[in-house]
């Protein structure tokens, strides 16, 4: 079984976010980038298939040379080969089109993408990728088993979960639950050294147009001042909630 894992290069959630050019561009200065958490869950599941069923695992990213350390980390975790599509990730449609070309050329049986990236939270790439490659698709995947050319997946739905059976080729949009946080792997020194020798192939993009553009970014409003009320002063608390906060 050939598996392709889509890797997004996203800011660490602890990074301080700023914008430039009149709040139209994201300022990358001083920002630490990591593997998108939803993608890391999917990569860990792919490693399970590699170890238990002998699958091959490739990782792919759409981005410039600055994304290569993130791909190298994926190789250190255990992926066999990394592919970087040499173009800026502009919007979901453009990214899906680039990934679809890689998936078709590689003849992959299973493509695992994160449900969404934690920077733009678009959640559109996996579904479009499935449509562009004529593959079956499972969204919000929290469980996945593969037996030959058949797969059984569990997906999260409102108020519960649903188990579905389908055939390969398959695209899944994974999230926490496809593996647990305790299953995530930290690259060890041996993995880091081996990653330096594994292939990282740079491919040129296909022609595509972005369907959306960013008009502007805006930070959330700063938190207001906090008023502390003595635990015994219920009357004051009720008064503030009623007349000032206006929540009761």
Give how far Cα 4 sits from Cα of 56, 107, 158, 217, 237, Å. Answer: 9, 10, 28, 32, 56
Q: What residues contact 142, with CB distance under 8 A and at least 6 apart? A: 154, 155, 156, 161, 174, 175, 176, 177, 178
How many other C-beta atoms can be found within 10 angstroms of the C-beta atom of residue 82? 25
Burial class (CB in 10 A: 0-12, 13-18, 19+), 200: middle
More confident position, 214 or 57:
57
Q: In the structure, what pLDDT confidence band is assigned to residue 147 with cuts at 50, 70 and 90?
A: very high
Q: Spell out the domain ranges in the chain.
A: 2-215
The structural architecture, per CATH, of the domain 2-215 is: 3-Layer(aba) Sandwich (3.40)
Least confident span in 16-20, 45-49, 95-99: 16-20
Mean pLDDT of the chain, nearest integer: 94
pLDDT for residue 49: 97
Q: What residues contact 149, with CB distance under 8 A and at least 6 apart? A: 109, 167, 168
pTM: 0.88
Taking the CA of residue 129 as centre, how many other CA atoms within 13 Å lie in the half-sphere pointing to its CB? 33
Go through the chain and tell me how many residues it has: 248
Tokens coding 107? 């003849």
């Amino acid at each position: 079984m050939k598996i392709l894992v889509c890797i997004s290069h996203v800011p660490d959630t602890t990074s301080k976010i700023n914008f430039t050019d009149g709040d139209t561009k994201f300022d990358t200065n001083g920002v630490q980038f990591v593997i998108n958490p939803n993608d890391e869950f999917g990569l860990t599941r792919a490693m399970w298939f590699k170890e238990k069923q002998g699958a091959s695992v490739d990782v792919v990213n759409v981005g410039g040379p600055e994304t290569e350390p993130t791909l190298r980390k994926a190789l250190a975790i255990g992926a066999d080969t990394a592919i970087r599509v040499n173009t800026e990730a502009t919007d979901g449609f453009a990214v899906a089109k680039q990934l679809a070309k890689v998936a078709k050329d590689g003849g992959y049986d299973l493509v695992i993408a994160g449900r969404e990236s934690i920077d733009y939270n678009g959640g559109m790439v996996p579904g479009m990728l499935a449509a562009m490659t004529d593959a079956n698709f499972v969204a919000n995947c929290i469980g996945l088993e593969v037996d030959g050319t058949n797969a059984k997946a569990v997906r999260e739905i409102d108020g519960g979960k649903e188990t579905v059976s389908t055939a390969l080729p398959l695209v899944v949009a994974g999230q926490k639950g496809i593996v647990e946080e305790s299953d995530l792997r930290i690259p060890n020194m041996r993995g880091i050294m081996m990653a330096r020798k594994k292939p990282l192939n740079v491919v040129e993009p296909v022609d595509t147009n972005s369907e959306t553009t960013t008009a502007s970014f805006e930070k959330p409003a700063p938190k207001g001042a906090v008023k502390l009320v003595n635990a015994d002063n219920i009357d004051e608390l009720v008064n503030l909630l009623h007349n000032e906060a206006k929540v009761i």
